[in-house]
Amino acid sequence: MAEKDNIIRRLCPGKTRGGSKMALARERIADVFRFAAEGGVLEGETPVADFNRLADWLAERVDAVRWRLAGRLDAEGGPRLDLGVAGRLVLRCQRCLEGMAWDLALDAVLQPVRAGQVLPRDELENDEFDVIEVDGDVDVLSLLEDEIILALPIAPRHEDCGVSRRAETDGGARGESPFGVLAGLRGGGR
């Protein structure tokens, strides 16, 4: 399991000195309803290694995800958060347990509700947006992590475990087609 400390340093310049937990610059939104009403926008790039709960699904904690969270009010004045997250994760293949590059690209509309607030049934059954219960301030990384976990494939598997492994070691990560690599191997053997 590769811990890429250097990525954290590069992405959060000046904020990792001291090594304390606070050093990882966790973004918080003090009042998410106000954030939505004011059309607030937060965006950033977060090392995959910062998402501790996500670790169970990963073969390697490398790279970073880019994200953007934008608040707005819908036509009826209800608070909404538009969330976009993109990046590459190295999931653990459920068949061979090796790493498997997977492109994360999620777009979600979140509806914050106050803790204990009762929602009309039609809002709960609406699947155009996800309801998130908010009690106090919002930890943006935790929110991102929840949404990323929801977006993960249930049982990630290589299409062909052997091919994918060879492609990764032979340069698949640089954009070569795994099929091209396979054809090359076959051609050389004839």
Its sign, for the CA torsion 21, 151, 122, 37, is: positive
| CA-closest candidate to residue 129, choices 145, 148, 110, 144 | 110
Q: Under 8 Å CB-to-CB from 92, ≥6 apart: which residues?
A: 57, 58, 59, 98, 99, 100, 156
Q: How far is the CB of 79 from Zn ion (least distance, A)?
A: 42
93 binds Zn ion (CB under 5 A): yes
Q: Considering the rule CB under 5 A, would residue 91 count as an interface residue with Zn ion?
A: no
CA-to-CA dists, residue 89 to 10, 20, 47, angstroms: 19, 26, 11
The nearer residue to Zn ion, 1 or 22, going by C-beta atoms, is: 1
Considering only residues 21 to 80 of the shown chain, the ones binding Zn ion according to CB under 5 A are none
Please report how close the Cβ of residue 167 comes to Zn ion at its closest, in angstroms. 11
Among 23, 101, 152, 161, binds Zn ion (CB under 5 A): 161
Pairing relation of β-strands 58-60 and 64-73? unpaired
Q: Which C-beta is closer to Zn ion: that of 85 or that of 181?
A: 181
Write the binding mask 139 to 158 for Zn ion: x where contact by CB under 5 A, - elsewhere: -------------------x
Interacting stretch for Zn ion, rule CB under 5 A, among 6-14, 50-58, 86-94, 137-145? 86-94
Residue 165 token pair? 């492994």
Residue ranges in contact with Zn ion by CB under 5 A: 93, 95-96, 158, 161
